[in-house]
Amino acid sequence: MGFDIHDRTEDDVRQVCAYILQAQAPNAQDAREIIRLIEKIFQRARGVFLWVKLVMPDLCRHVADCIDRGMGSLELQKQLLNSMEALPTNLIDYYVAIIDRISPALRWETYCLLECICRSNESTHLDEPSSMLACRSFNSFKRL
């Protein structure tokens, strides 16, 4: 017997979304707009916190861009809903979208860094990525 994860995380997901959105757009004229957006995020997240964690920075960047362009509250709401609707709900598809944003020239380096970090048994420090990138000329990770 299982359970639906969103039944257990509903309030927490809403609270996280509300906190982030209100911090990003504290001058929103209508709290109903924020609530409506939170509900849309919650519905698309289906209780998966990782999806919310990945999506919120994208939405917040979009909010900042819209505010910088002097967009009104209603137009901002419409833009955010459109932006959110364009985001994949499946985590695998979202990961692909993230990878697609990386310049093709930097993808191999990104892969090398992620592979080193994932295979490491220790914490990675900020001064280590340059030495990790030494492996980018290797044909396989067996040479490490």
64-104: per-residue pLDDT in tens?
Answer: 787 788 877 778 778 878 888 888 888 889 888 888 989 99
**For the whole model, what pTM was predicted?**
0.63
Element (H, E) at 140: none
Nearest by Cα to 44 from 19, 20, 76, 80? 80
What's the confidence (pLDDT) of residue 26? 60
What's the confidence (pLDDT) of residue 31? 59
Angstrom distance (rounded) from CA 109 to CA 107:
5
**If you average pLDDT over every residue of the chain, what do you get?**
77
Asked if 94 contacts 87 with a C-beta cutoff of 8 angstroms, the reply is: yes
Angstrom distance (rounded) from CA 34 to CA 22:
8
Angstrom distance (rounded) from CA 51 to CA 59:
12
Report the length, in residues, of the chain.
144
What's the confidence (pLDDT) of residue 8? 73
What's the confidence (pLDDT) of residue 103? 92
Check whether 22 has a pLDDT greater than 80.
no
Burial (CB count <10 Å: 0-12, 13-18, 19+), residue 89: middle
What's the confidence (pLDDT) of residue 117? 81
Q: Mean of the pLDDT values across residues 129-133?
A: 77
Q: Per mean pLDDT, which range of 26-30, 48-52, 133-137 is the poorest? A: 26-30
Asked if 84 contacts 59 with a C-beta cutoff of 8 angstroms, the reply is: yes
Check whether 143 has a pLDDT greater than 80.
no
